[in-house]
Structure 1
Amino acid sequence: MSNNLENNDEIVDDYGQIKISDEVVGIIASLAATEIKGVAGMSGGITGGISEMLGRKNFSKGVKVEVKEKEVSISLYIIVEYGAKIPEVAWEVQESVKNTVETMTGLNVVEVNINIQGVNIEKEHKEE
């Protein structure tokens, strides 16, 4: 059986075609990002309000996906936990998202852009 990627996110094999929507890629990326220690959640980005942290039901929010032929570019808008080392968190998110999306979809992830939109300050820090 041969697997070939054709026409953006469409996989064609001996049995037919499989189409993966941009939203599915976004959901996969969001879940991979929020599993990383130091990530408080996804942000709505500019359109949803920078300080708005999205709930678990909005999995594809805070993610922008661009699929081109066999490649995909992903931009994530995240909120980090107070005290987290932002460069380390961003690097871990990039690695996790790239590996997870490539494994689950077969698409080649060419870039994962991380946009830090805010810092989640716990109640304890607010009271001090």
Structure 2
Amino acid sequence: MVIKMEHGDLEINLKVLKKLAYIATRESYGPVNIASESFFGKLFGEKEEERIKVEELDNGKIVVDLYLEVEYGVKVSEVAKNIIENVSHVLKTIGGCEDVEVNVHVIGIR
């Protein structure tokens, strides 16, 4: 992702945005685990941060996909809404992204 600045361009790697999304998700209420969507990811235990998908579309839009396990007894819709707001806010304010789409996929309850 490239941000036009007064004295030149600033290029932000998608790994940085992934780290920001990870931190914002962990600071949110409700998620217990960032789960892997793939069988091999579950089998070989990839790091939580690596399980977040961040991609930049041709029009500059940033799309974040989170696969989560949530705590038993929480209202899933409220947890998802909270995470979407937190991740979007962090990516817009700290990451400098203008157009962000966050998709929360709840794949389990613990």
- TM-score bin (small chain): 0.7 to 0.9
Compare relative contact order (CA 8 Å, sep 6+) and give the higher one, 1 or 2.
Answer: 2
Alignment of 1:1-128 (within 5 A): 9-46=1-38, 47-49=40-42, 58=47, 60-68=49-57, 69-120=59-110
Displacement of 1:11 in angstroms is: 1.6
| Cα distance in 1 for residues equivalent to 2:42 and 2:98 | 30
Q: What are the ranges of 5 or more consecutive residues in structure 1 without an aligned counterpart?
A: 1-8, 121-128
Return the letter of the residue paired with 2:42. G
Aligned length: 107
Q: What are the ranges of 5 or more consecutive residues in structure 2 without an aligned counterpart?
A: none
Indicate the structure with greater helix content: 2
Deviations along 1:16-68, one digit per CA (max 9) or x if unpaired, are 32111111111111110111111112112225129x6x7xxx35322111113
Identical-residue share of aligned pairs (%): 29
- Considering only aligned residues, what root-mean-square deviation do their CA atoms show, in Å? 2.0
Which of 1 and 2 has greater Rg? 1
The answer as to whether partners of 1:23 and 1:60 remain within 8 angstroms in 2 is no
The answer as to whether partners of 1:101 and 1:107 remain within 8 angstroms in 2 is yes
The answer as to whether partners of 1:101 and 1:109 remain within 8 angstroms in 2 is no
Secondary structure of 2:85 counterpart = helix
